[in-house]
Amino acid sequence: MGTKLEIHDDILWGKLVKSWATGKNYIAPERPAPAIPRTMEELLAQAADIGLIIKFPDDMVGLEIVQYSSQTAVIKLPPKSMIEDTEADLNKKDALYPMPRFYEDFFSVPLPQMRKAGLLDLHAARIGDYSIRNCG
């Protein structure tokens, strides 16, 4: 465990999430889709079974997976402490935005250094996007 969420293979994680959402196995198409986990232990066992390493923060002990309909607007609010902790990190000298590394993998360019105001605006935009966008 640790202090930050770490997913060591974003593509494999995405395929696992797609498998839960659709009931179609995106990891091993010849096998049935994995069941939606109901506990952190079930999630970590599924991850281990497919070779996916996930590290949750030490204080994150619960699990809630929600699937909603496309006719329902769902606004997901992140925990206040996570917003404030990230803002504190972004206000440090020479801060870098904690963008998932797959962006650089897919776009083949390093993420730019940004001034503090830009970092905080990017943080606000990502939270807004995260809170309301449906996957697609």
pLDDT in tens, 79-103: 999 899 999 999 998 888 888 888 8
In a domain, 67, yes or no: no
In a domain, 75, yes or no: no
Cβ neighbours of residue 75 closer than 8 Å, sequence gap 6 or more: 131, 132
In a domain, 65, yes or no: no
Beta strands 54-55 and 6-7: pairing type?
Answer: antiparallel
Residue in 64, 27, 21, 24 with CA at minimum distance from that of residue 46: 27
Domain range holding 127?
80-132
Counting the structural domains of the chain, the total is 2
Q: Are residues 128 and 84 in the same domain?
A: yes
pTM of the model: 0.81
pLDDT at residue 1, rounded to an integer: 47
Q: Are residues 44 and 86 in the same domain?
A: no
Instruction: Indicate the DSSP class of residue 112.
Output: P
In a domain, 115, yes or no: yes
Q: How far is CA 126 from the centre of its chain?
A: 12
Q: Are residues 45 and 10 in the same domain?
A: yes
